[in-house]
Amino acid sequence: MGSRGYFFVLLHAFVFVSLATSVFSQLTPNYYDYSCPNALSTIKSVVEAAVQKEYRMGASLLRLHFHDCFVNGCDGSILLDPSPTIDSEKNSRANFQSARGFEVVDEIKGAVDEACGKPVVSCADILAVAARDSVVALGGPTWDVPLGRRDSTTASRDAADASIPAAFFNLSQLITNFKNHGLDEKDLVVLSGGHSIGYAQCVAFRDRIYNDSNIDPNFAQDLKYICPRTGGDTNLSPLDQTAAKFDIQYFSGLVQKNGLLHSDQELFNGGCTDELVKEYSYDSDDFFVDFGNSMIKMGNIQPLTGNQGEIRVNCRKVN
């Protein structure tokens, strides 16, 4: 190959690598340092007040970020209300009558826009930062959130139905689902640790407590008072015994066969993720570090950057 041909091969390779990494390089924790230096502190103050008022809100805000990123990337699409042109993800199976915290996001958006003097911070970035601040407010780890996402102008209920993992999934289905989002088995276990906080509705764990065999019988019996065979679909049970504190109790519960959801207990059921669950059940330092890293990785799923999307004025509707 001549020197000219070799040069063009190198150039082509460089362009390919540059394109592949450009999305990630455009997200940076310092994104708003000049355009709105008070953005992050403003988000934090609203989140802290909301969590102090109702600690469950921390889990709700964390869940919004998860459910946003798992549907066509971290683009704020979960926040869009139904309209003639928007088939809202709020009406998907995973979100309908269970996703919550939208009013807090509205409050954050108003406060941030006031602090910035204009709409500068995207709703997608608000979700990412609010998720981190919620975890911190409940005693969990912190991490530097890469920023610079822009907001989608579309949403897809069908994509939400297809992309968000279900409470009845087995381990193989969970691994495949996470792999489809660029996340590995370790990310699956680590991010499931977000269930250290919050609650689930009876309809999500009824089959487990009446039909699963890998469940502590006393645990199952207690849950049957909350969740009868019929009725009470929206009755709540904590996802672990310390639902108001971000800790490793979730993993300890799995080892004791006290996972609330079928999908939770699948992580410790004789499969390839057992050892990691065991490790996190006694090592909070490792879990905290790994959780921050996996949250950053999840937050990098297909963000809109540059001239893509928009910065919404109202998180609930396109501009």
Per-domain residue ranges of the chain: 39-165, 171-297
What residue ranges of the chain have pLDDT lower than 50? 3-4, 6-11, 13-24
Q: How far apart are CA 201 and CA 208, in angstroms?
A: 12
CA distance 293 to 191: 10
Distance between CA atoms of 194 and 95, rounded to whole angstroms? 17
Q: DSSP readout, 149-171?
A: -BB-S--BHHHHHHHSPPTT--H
Secondary structure class of 243 (helix, strand, coil): coil
Pairing relationship of beta strands 199-201 and 236-238 according to DSSP bridges: antiparallel
Cβ atoms 280, 193 nearer than 8 A: yes
Rounded CA gap, 37 and 31, in Å? 9
Confidence at residue 2, expressed as pLDDT on a 0 to 100 scale: 53
Beta-sheet strands, E only, within the chain: 199-201, 236-238
Give the pLDDT confidence score for residue 23 in this predicted structure.
47
Task: Give the fold, CATH level 3, of 39-165.
Answer: Peroxidase; domain 1 (1.10.520)
Per-residue model confidence (pLDDT) at position 7: 45
Residue 136 tokens, joined: 């911190």
Q: Please state the CATH superfamily assignment of the domain spanning residues 171-297 in this structure.
A: Peroxidase, domain 2 (1.10.420.10)
- The predicted pLDDT at position 1 comes to 52
* Residue-level pLDDT at 26: 82
The model carries a pTM of 0.91
| 12 belongs to the catalytic site | no
Point out the catalytic residue in the list 65, 67, 181, 195. Answer: 67
